[in-house]
Structure 1
Amino acid sequence: MRAIQITEFGGPEVLRQVELPDPVAGPGQMVIAVDSAGLNYADTHTVENSYLSRAALPMVPGAEVVGRTPDGRRVVALTDNGGYAERAVVQERLAHEVPDDVTDAQALAVVVQGLTAWHLLRTSARLAEGESVVVHAAAGGTGSLAVQLARTFGAGRVIATASTKDKRDLALELGADVAVDGASDGLKERLIEANGGRKVDVVLEMTGGPVFDASLAALAAFGRLVTYGMASRVPATPVRPAQLMGRSRAVVGFWLAHCLGRPGMYREPIAELLTMVAAGRLRPQLGGIYPLSEASRAHEDLRARRTVGKLVLDVRS
């Protein structure tokens, strides 16, 4: 089968197309004939071995696929890597049937990024009706869905950040009340101004470094900052307990892997999200479709922040 494999850790240049034997399913697993594979920013960390879980070589990256089961069902599924290939092994319990009126790209947007956005708001931030929400990188795969879900879940004010005017305009189109520049300089002041001069209740933060620091400084009493990424690859200033206690603030970490296998945290939210997509109440943004052979170009575009929405590898081309 054709696959994208890495034999050394590094940047996009280490992603190479090769021929590999078809994988074999173990107990509780099945082999999916992959039509499309999803790309996530976390994949760039996996390829350079800078993510939360350490990777082993050689490796086929890719955490999500849409394709056909051995009995012909069309499913979307999480993988333990291996998604950038014509065949992928998945846990049977992590495969979810896709409605006919949901496209491959829409289904792939739901399984990692949509599920992450859902849990950021519902599980980690515990968003209450009327609260203000800041969504960083609001034109990205997770951010563009979080903007829409925050509005659906009753946020009082949705504040988006993005790096360009086009991306900020997209966030406004998706339901944000206001969109501001996401650069770290002056960010605290821009967030407070965007919230009518008041500090904010919830921040969804995936950049790290000075953006994390400014976001924490903009947080109101009893506010929650949910950190779920480290896109800048720059560490934030260490947070001291007194900083949190003195202003009754919380910093909450989120990693989707901890939802797998827990009752009610995987299949049920995915079913809800797919139903919303099928009904037109949630609009995943398709940022680009790349042939399997151009996975390295897709990673280059991701790292350069040239993309919006969901990126997909067309495994059939």
Structure 2
Amino acid sequence: MRAVQVTEFGGPEVLNLVELAEPEVGADEILIDVDRIGVNYADTHQAENSYLAPSKLPLVPGGEVVGKTAEGQRKVALINSGGYAEKAVANKYMAFDVPEGVDDLHALSMLVQGTTAWVLLKKNAHLETGESVVVHAAAGGVGTIAVQLAKAWGAGRVIATASSEEKRRLAMELGADATVDSNAENMTEALIEANGGKRIDVILDMVGGTTTDQSIAALAPFGRLAFYGMASRKQPKAVELRNLLGHSTTVTGMWLPHVFRLPGNVFGTALNDLFTLIQAGKLKAIAGGEYPLEDARKAHEALRSRGTVGKLLLDPRK
């Protein structure tokens, strides 16, 4: 089968299209004939071995696929690795039925990005009706969904940050009440101004560096910043006890694998909620581009440039 393999860690240049034997299926596993592959920012970290979970070589990256089993069941699945291939093996407990009315784009968009946005707002930020919400990288996979969910769940004012006028326009179309240029010289002032001069209640952040520092400074008393990535690859400096005391601030982190340790099938609840919203026409995924499997490098280059919108896909059939 065709697959994209990494034999040395690095940037997009280490992704190579190769021929590999089909993966072996173990106990409690299923084989999926892959129709589409989801591309996540975490994949870029996996390829350079800078992810929270260490990578091992040789590596076929990719953690999410949608396709059919030998019995013809349509499944979307989370896997540890091996997604960038024509066939993938998934634990049967991590493979979920895709309901009618949910296409490949929407199934893959909800599996990681959608559940991430759901958990950030529900479990990390504990969003309350009427609160203000800032969504950084609002045109990205998580951001586009978070803007819609925040509005659907009663946020008082949703402020979206993005790097271009086109991206900011998209955020407004998705329901944002105001936008801020992510390259603003003083993000603290820009966010407060966009909120009518008031400090912010909830901020979702996957950027890191000065963006995180200046966002923390914009929080209201008892405001919450939910941190779920570091696209800038720069460490923030503002997460200090004295800064947290200054406005009774909460800074919380979220890594999706930890959700599976929670009681009550939180992940399954989130995914079902999201699929129901899609079927009702109340939530939509944004297509960020579809690449042939052989162009996985281009997909990673696009993600790392932070010039993409929505969800990026690979098509192993091309």
Q: Which amino acid aligns with 1:302?
A: L
Q: Report how far residue 315 of structure 1 moved.
A: 1.1
Corresponding residue for 1:215?
A: 215
3-state SS of 2:291 partner: strand
What value does the CA root-mean-square deviation take over the aligned residues?
A: 1.0
1:10-159 residue pairs with structure 2 within 5 A?
A: 10-159=10-159
Corresponding residue for 1:2?
A: 2
Distance 2:240 2:212 in 1: 14
Q: Report how far residue 97 of structure 1 moved.
A: 0.9
Corresponding residue for 1:301?
A: 302
3-state SS of 2:266 partner: coil
Q: Which amino acid aligns with 1:258?
A: H
Distance 1:142 1:119 in 2: 11
Distance 1:191 1:79 in 2: 37
Q: Which amino acid aligns with 1:255?
A: W
Corresponding residue for 2:269?
A: 268
Runs of at least 4 residues off by over 3 Å:
none
Q: Which amino acid aligns with 1:8?
A: E
Q: Which amino acid aligns with 1:125?
A: A
Distance 1:308 1:114 in 2: 14
Map Cα deviations across residues 264-296 of structure 1 (whole Å, 9 max, x no partner).
Answer: 211111011111112211010001010011000
Against the structure 1 CA distance between its residues 121 and 20, is the aligned structure 2 distance closer, same or farther, given a 3 Å change threshold? same
Q: Which amino acid aligns with 2:281?
A: G
Corresponding residue for 1:172?
A: 172
Instruction: Check the 8 A contact 1:106/1:284 in 2, yes or no.
Output: yes
Q: Report how far residue 100 of structure 1 moved.
A: 2.6
Distance 2:132 2:265 in 1: 26
Instruction: Check the 8 A contact 2:201/2:220 in 1, yes or no.
Output: yes
Corresponding residue for 1:189?
A: 189
Map Cα deviations across residues 194-225 of structure 1 (whole Å, 9 max, x no partner).
Answer: 11101000000000000000000000100000
Q: Report how far residue 94 of structure 1 moved.
A: 1.1
Distance 1:95 1:58 in 2: 24
Instruction: Check the 8 A contact 1:205/1:226 in 2, yes or no.
Output: yes
3-state SS of 1:275 partner: helix
Instruction: Check the 8 A contact 1:147/1:174 in 2, yes or no.
Output: yes
Instruction: Check the 8 A contact 1:224/1:250 in 2, yes or no.
Output: yes
Q: Which amino acid aligns with 1:315?
A: P
The normalised TM-score by structure 2 is: 0.98
Q: Report how far residue 184 of structure 1 moved.
A: 5.2
Q: Which amino acid aligns with 1:28?
A: D
Matched, 1:160 2:156: no
Q: Percent identity?
A: 55
Instruction: Check the 8 A contact 2:289/2:312 in 1, yes or no.
Output: yes
Instruction: Check the 8 A contact 1:184/1:214 in 2, yes or no.
Output: no
Instruction: Check the 8 A contact 2:216/2:238 in 1, yes or no.
Output: no
Distance 1:201 1:268 in 2: 25
Q: Which amino acid aligns with 2:290?
A: I
My pick for the range that moved more, 126-135 or 297-306, is 297-306
Q: Which amino acid aligns with 2:246?
A: G
Q: Report how far residue 247 of structure 1 moved.
A: 1.6
Distance 1:287 1:116 in 2: 18
Q: Which amino acid aligns with 1:223?
A: G
Instruction: Check the 8 A contact 1:184/1:211 in 2, yes or no.
Output: no
3-state SS of 1:172 partner: helix
Corresponding residue for 2:281?
A: 280
What count of residue pairs does the alignment treat as equivalent? Answer: 317
Instruction: Check the 8 A contact 1:213/1:237 in 2, yes or no.
Output: yes
Distance 2:286 2:196 in 1: 29
Distance 1:313 1:279 in 2: 27
**Unmatched segments (≥5 aa) in structure 2:** none
